[in-house]
Amino acid sequence: MRALLLEGIHPDAVSRLKADSYDVEVLGRALDEQELIDRIAGVSLLGVRSKSQVTAKVLDAATDLVAVGAFCIGTDQIDLPHASANGVAVFNAPFSNTRSVVELALAEIIALTRRLTEKNAGMHNGVWDKAAEGSHEVRGRSLGIVGYGNIGTQLSVLAENLGMSVYFFDTADRLALGNARRCASLDELLAVSDVVTLHVDGRPSNSSFFGAEQFARMKPGSIFLNLSRGFVIDHAALRASLESGHLAGAAVDVFPAEPKGRGDEFVSELRGLPNVILTPHIGGSTEEAQADIGSFVANKLAQYASDGTSTLSVNLPAVALPQPPDTHRLVHLHRNTPGVLAQVNGILAEHGVNVEGQLLATKGELGYVLTDIGVNYSDEVLAQLRAMSQTVRLRVLS
């Protein structure tokens, strides 16, 4: 079987898939929609990071595709409903690069609070300026975290250990860690925070949710960070707030439009500002994080392809079932309607096929059942299972 890995995915992923005898093609850059369509024929496993868009057209062209791995946290670059409709599993790495993103955020908070970017630029231009004006310790200052998920919570704990007062706002009901305090609204958080950092997900409702109005409500002289998604903020409004002096500095790691590969030109309204740290979407780009992501996601892809284990799949029900020896496994993804399992077992019973093991789980509109049967059965059994009106996809694993 073939695997296609894009955007410089770590060699550990390649090694893991080759260990399962995959023919692995590796590209160091993203592909646009048509390029991906042209390459996807015959590919069983696809690996992407954040730039390659796995659209409905790509999925429809990928007739042999079994699973997609997002070697990152987000999956908004993948059309999840269409992947589910086509019987394609999607996996990501929700925890592997958390520490790397948190450490980058902390480094930027300290650098901006101490005005290191401006001091560094001055020194490179031959200017010796020891003035302490505008430079502060982070101890005793307040940090506002928008989005209190895996990254936000870990940042909360480490920032508190540095002596910061932590506030957070999240639309979901989250448990506060340490002495962090929950804010009832975004406006409440903005009013009390010396530093505001965004760690929200890529759902469409988050598009452009932080703009001129929100920047205006931040404290004068405060600092802003975005290490979440590029489309969640108004970059022109951020520049205006920085140029007016209302904000003391900013750090941005993600952008609405990002170059496909290393060396391509980067265009942004935020270029050229001395009090802004711009990084090329490297929040999770440490060697440790990329190695962990590579092995984690590749292992999930290989397991799903070989035995149907869907644990931690983004779009499929979670099912894991040890397979007895001398059996074949029927991997049946179907629309979640009443009576499917009875219908599956009725077909097996009709043909005298004994069930050695079986496990079903459902998630929203999808149902997923693994059934282990003896190796002696007719092709008619498979034909009838595939012909069921609820069947999305049937795979047979030996």
- Are 132 and 266 in a shared domain? yes
- The verdict on whether 229 is a catalytic residue reads yes
Yes or no: say if 373 and 379 are a contact pair by the CB < 8 Å rule.
no
Distance CA 197, CA 193 (A): 10
The per-residue pLDDT for range 327-339, each reduced to its tens digit, is: 999 999 999 999 9
Mean pLDDT of all residues in 68-87: 95
The per-residue pLDDT for range 290-345, each reduced to its tens digit, is: 999 999 999 999 999 999 999 999 999 999 999 999 999 999 999 999 999 999 99
Yes or no: say if 72 and 310 are a contact pair by the CB < 8 Å rule.
no
Q: Whole-number mean pLDDT of the chain?
A: 96
- Are 121 and 255 in a shared domain? yes
**Domain assignment of residue 80, given as a range:** 1-96+287-309
- The verdict on whether 258 is a catalytic residue reads yes
Selecting among 16, 99, 281, 332, the annotated active-site residue is 281
CA distances, 252 to each of 99, 286, 394 (Å)? 17, 17, 44
Mean pLDDT of all residues in 261-267: 88
- Are 207 and 342 in a shared domain? no
The per-residue pLDDT for range 184-202, each reduced to its tens digit, is: 999 999 999 999 999 998 8
pLDDT at position 41: 96
pLDDT at position 74: 86
- Are 161 and 304 in a shared domain? no
Provide the CATH number for the domain around residue 47.
Answer: 3.40.50.720
- The verdict on whether 114 is a catalytic residue reads no
Q: Which residues contact 59 (CB under 8 A, 6 or more apart)?
A: 65, 79, 82, 83, 86, 88
pLDDT at position 204: 86
Distance CA 313, CA 203 (A): 18
- Are 257 and 330 in a shared domain? no
Q: Give the residue among 13, 41, 10 at the shortest CA–CA distance from 28.
A: 10
Yes or no: say if 75 and 314 are a contact pair by the CB < 8 Å rule.
yes
- Are 87 and 109 in a shared domain? no
Percent share of the chain, pLDDT over 90: 94
For the chain, the domain total comes to: 3
Selecting among 35, 118, 258, 356, the annotated active-site residue is 258
Selecting among 49, 99, 115, 229, the annotated active-site residue is 229
- Are 38 and 143 in a shared domain? no
CA distances, 232 to each of 129, 211, 254, 278, 299 (Å)? 36, 8, 10, 16, 32
The per-residue pLDDT for range 126-156, each reduced to its tens digit, is: 999 999 999 999 999 999 999 999 999 999 9
- Are 261 and 389 in a shared domain? no
- Are 132 and 260 in a shared domain? yes
- Are 85 and 108 in a shared domain? no
- Are 158 and 234 in a shared domain? yes
Final residue of a domain: which of 258, 278, 298? 278
Mean pLDDT of all residues in 225-232: 96
pLDDT confidence tier of residue 169, bands split at 50, 70 and 90: very high
- Are 214 and 256 in a shared domain? yes
Provide the CATH number for the domain around residue 368.
Answer: 3.30.70.260
